Amino acid sequence: MADDSFWWIYLVFFMIPLARMLPRIIKKVRGGSSWGQYKPRSTFKSAEEAQTSAFRDTEEAQTRTIHEEHSPEKKVLGQMSLGVRDFGMIRDNLGMDNGELEIMLANLEKQGLMRVIKKGGVLGTKIELHITEDGIKRYHS
């Protein structure tokens, strides 16, 4: 059993969780927002807000169709320009299979639009894909 002079350590271990829970309990008792309750979305307050929302939706649809019209190479370059450097993430974001993406990345590397950087780490080598300036220019053209 523990020495009688160390009783305070138990007090510390019980006070830390209590200090975290107490403000939440007080907020709930006073009538603040409850945990896990559904809050419905607010409806439009005016016709002007409805029009701006409809305009925003059509803009998003147009940008989506423009993005869908890009060639697969431009889609890969777009993902890399957004900062995605992992093969698996690019594959998952674009919904491509491994072989197709490998061939495409090899072609982009031959054209000088991207470069492969191998980094050594504690868990082994990590391969990162970086877009070059020429790749950025090709993507934005």
C-alpha span between 89 and 102 (Å, rounded)? 13
Which CATH architecture best describes the domain 71-140?
Answer: Orthogonal Bundle (1.10)
Bridging pattern class, strands 114-121 and 124-131: antiparallel
Each residue's pLDDT expressed in tens, for the chain with a length of 141 residues:
556 677 778 778 888 888 888 888 888 888 765 555 555 555 545 555 655 665 566 555 555 544 557 788 888 998 998 888 989 899 988 888 999 999 999 999 999 999 999 988 788 888 899 999 999 998 888
pTM for this entry:
0.51
Domain ranges of the chain: 71-140
In DSSP terms, which residues pair with 128 in a beta bridge? 117
CA angle 70, 134, 73 (to 5 degrees): 25
C-alpha span between 133 and 112 (Å, rounded)? 9
